[in-house]
Amino acid sequence: MPEHRSESIKTARLSKNIWLKHTLGKIGDVGVAAIQIESLARELKVTKGSFYWHFKDRDSLLSETLKYWYNSATIAIGLAGKRDFNAPRDRLRYFFTLALNKGPDVPGGPIEQALREWARVSDIAAETTKRVDQDRMSLIAEAYIELGQSKNRARQTAAMALAHLIGLNILMPSKKFEHQSEDKNAFMELFIPDYFKDYIINL
């Protein structure tokens, strides 16, 4: 096999999704402005050839990372919720439990904060964050409609729920552990009808 072909296969082994996932996590750590191809490649222990196998340049990497975030933060979660939970209360519990975990990719978490900061100066980032917000609210509102709320009331409730989620996740790192747990339970009680009743039944 020609040497250059062997090198091409080697650099391609690191999949595009690995690059995108690592870049997204790095954005949460250092922000978009600090993202550099050389440092990403060094952290992934590959040459820049691996990067150029998948991406044209830094801008294309950031654009693809936004799409990856949108798909993983909204589309995949929405599909899983609709597939696995027929009851709207169970679907809300699934969405809210995921949103209140300690991962960096939760609503209002480090990754999202960095992307929203970028959205102040980037049209593509602004459009993507807007789509994520709208899709999240639509998923939540749909469950409230199934629970009997009007479309307008469900939209309002979903907007308030999402705003609370984002705010809680911004504040969580500065709270004591026991207060974090109390706040999560308070959120669930506020936004999931009969939450504690269902919780006791499931024990």
pLDDT at 8 over 60: no
Instruction: Tell me the torsion sign for CA atoms 95, 100, 106, 107.
Output: positive
Percent over 90 (pLDDT), the chain: 78
Confidence (pLDDT) at 173? 79
Residue 83, in any domain of the structure: yes
Confidence (pLDDT) at 174? 79
Confidence (pLDDT) at 181? 86
Residue 28, in any domain of the structure: no
Residue 177 neighbours by CB distance under 10 Å: 8
Tokens (6 digits) for 73: 């933060």
Confidence (pLDDT) at 195? 78
CATH of the domain at 76: 1.10.357
Residue 88, in any domain of the structure: yes
Confidence (pLDDT) at 197? 64
Residue 191, in any domain of the structure: yes
Instruction: Mean pLDDT check: name the lowest of 11-15, 63-67, 99-103, 167-171.
Output: 11-15
pLDDT in tens, 95-144: 999 999 988 999 999 999 999 999 999 999 999 999 999 999 999 999 99
pLDDT at 4 over 50: no
Q: How far is the first Cα of the chain from the last one, in angstroms, to the nearest whole number?
A: 61
Residue 119, in any domain of the structure: yes
Q: What is the mean pLDDT of the chain?
A: 90
Percent over 70 (pLDDT), the chain: 88
pLDDT at 200 over 70: no
Residue 147, in any domain of the structure: yes
Categorize the per-residue pLDDT at 202 as very low, low, confident or very high, splitting at 50, 70 and 90. Answer: low
* Tally of domains within the chain: 1
Distance CA 21, CA 27 (A): 10
Confidence (pLDDT) at 196? 63
Residue 51, in any domain of the structure: no
Residue 123, in any domain of the structure: yes
Confidence (pLDDT) at 5? 36
* Domain limits for position 160: 57-202
- Which pTM value belongs to this model? 0.86
159-169 CB burial, b ≥16 within 10 A, e <16 = eebbebbbebb
